[in-house]
Chains A and B, each alone.
Chain A
């Protein structure tokens, strides 16, 4: 006990007494880096401290009384707050739904754009230099996917040609042969350059919608000469792969292989290059020779 402790100023006394009433005197002592006993001694050394403590305690008790609050007014305010919360939640739900719809619409738009882009790309790659016809009655439209695209979720539009029917759809073997010769002039390759001389893609995986000009039908002058192609081997599946003959019946070397649709059926076209003319051999899905032509 320190009896010589100096008295406190009125404001400081109030602060220490108030802290003491709230059991916060230890915190004050820690803050001031003095023992709590020192503060207590100073309070006791201050004249009128006990009376002041009683007055502050009375004030604290009055301040602790909860002000009157009308029950009806209270209920009304509470109900209003609950309604406001409900309105807020409804607004939030609507905002969330709007955001969801925006995202969904955006995703649909992107997907649609992707489908259109794929269709355009497929159309461009499948048709080559041929005119794209709006529709070709003789070529059945299918939505079969290219084998390489198996597992993709994209759907090929009805008018998209299969990549394998590279030359398009023909009703004339003569025109088909001419188209193959034209094509071979730009894409000529040696037999050794092909994948072991095999037809590079499977047959029957789709149909093309490319068509020749309207007057092409009048140019069909060929009779079909069917014969078996001994060098071809089917693999027994729905999409056979035929081995290409390395030479034509005339002995000319194979320079180009492609595919097309003839009268609704997939065919493979081989072009052999001779010294004076090119020989075109067209085989069906069973690897049977449908036609052989010589084009000078």
Chain B
């Protein structure tokens, strides 16, 4: 969840819009990790997430003059980040996938050789990969950023009921995967 004070963010954004680069650097720093997190959750891939994060940050920096302060800065910034990530996802879908990558992704990861953190990350990416990017965006905005359903509905331009359904689907997919892993671990345990 964002730690930054919304009023402080708004003040920084206004200073940044007036040309204060230090304020811009600060307000970007306040939200950068979560902007990257949203991109990572939506795209499920580190390289694509970096590209999308860069696009999102550039868009925020360039458009900060259009931030009117009517909504929270975080809502505005994560809207920009989500759009950047969804755009990247659409671009990626149009790109041809190299056959080596297909073969690589078809191979199940050797979980025994991975530490728990990496395995969890892979689980999250793998679980969310079953869902369309728009579903992943709803999950990321709720569980990572901490937006309420109404804010998410506003950012994604969908009804709150749809937000609820998408979040539920995302969590359920991960819950199923985590449940299966726990089940298989239990089976492996003597």
Tell me, rounded to whole Å, the shortest Cβ–Cβ distance linking B35 to chain A. 9
Across the interface, which residues of B come within 8 angstroms of A56, CB to CB? 168, 171-172, 175
Interface 1/0 per residue, A42-63 and B, CB below 8 Å = 0000000000100110111011
Interface residues on A, range: 35 or more
CB nearest neighbor in A for B59: A81
- Is B68 part of the contact surface with A, judged by Cβ < 8 Å? no
Would you call B36 and A81 a contact (CB within 8 A)? no
Would you call B36 and A67 a contact (CB within 8 A)? yes
Would you call A31 and B33 a contact (CB within 8 A)? no
The complex places the Cα of A65 from the Cα of B87 at a distance, in Å, of: 24
Across the interface, which residues of A come within 8 angstroms of B58, CB to CB? 80-81, 84
The complex places the Cα of A150 from the Cα of B32 at a distance, in Å, of: 66
CB nearest neighbor in A for B142: A22
Across the interface, which residues of B come within 8 angstroms of A66, CB to CB? 33-34, 37, 144
Would you call B37 and A85 a contact (CB within 8 A)? no
Interface 1/0 per residue, B15-39 and A, CB below 8 Å = 0100101001100110011101100
Which listed segment binds B: A12-20, A217-225, A240-248, A263-271?
A12-20
- Is A78 part of the contact surface with B, judged by Cβ < 8 Å? yes
Interface residues on B, range: 35 or more
- Is A89 part of the contact surface with B, judged by Cβ < 8 Å? yes
Would you call B164 and A18 a contact (CB within 8 A)? yes
Count, A-B residue pairs, CB within 8 A: 125
The complex places the Cα of A56 from the Cα of B148 at a distance, in Å, of: 17
Would you call A86 and B21 a contact (CB within 8 A)? yes
Across the interface, which residues of B come within 8 angstroms of A69, CB to CB? 32-33, 36-37
The complex places the Cα of A59 from the Cα of B120 at a distance, in Å, of: 10
Across the interface, which residues of B come within 8 angstroms of A89, CB to CB? 19
The complex places the Cα of A11 from the Cα of B165 at a distance, in Å, of: 9
CB nearest neighbor in A for B16: A85
Given known contacts A58-B178, A59-B178, A60-B143, is B61 in contact with A84 (CB within 8 Å)?
Answer: yes
Across the interface, which residues of B come within 8 angstroms of A64, CB to CB? 1, 143-144
Interface 1/0 per residue, B36-49 and A, CB below 8 Å = 11001100000001
CB nearest neighbor in A for B64: A85
Would you call B143 and A63 a contact (CB within 8 A)? yes
- Is B161 part of the contact surface with A, judged by Cβ < 8 Å? yes
CB nearest neighbor in A for B57: A81
Would you call B50 and A63 a contact (CB within 8 A)? no
- Is B76 part of the contact surface with A, judged by Cβ < 8 Å? no
Would you call B121 and A67 a contact (CB within 8 A)? yes
Tell me, rounded to whole Å, the shortest Cβ–Cβ distance linking B186 to chain A. 14
Sample of 13 A–B contacts (CB below 8 Å): A14-B168, A15-B164, A17-B168, A22-B142, A24-B149, A55-B176, A59-B127, A65-B124, A77-B57, A78-B28, A78-B29, A81-B57, A84-B62
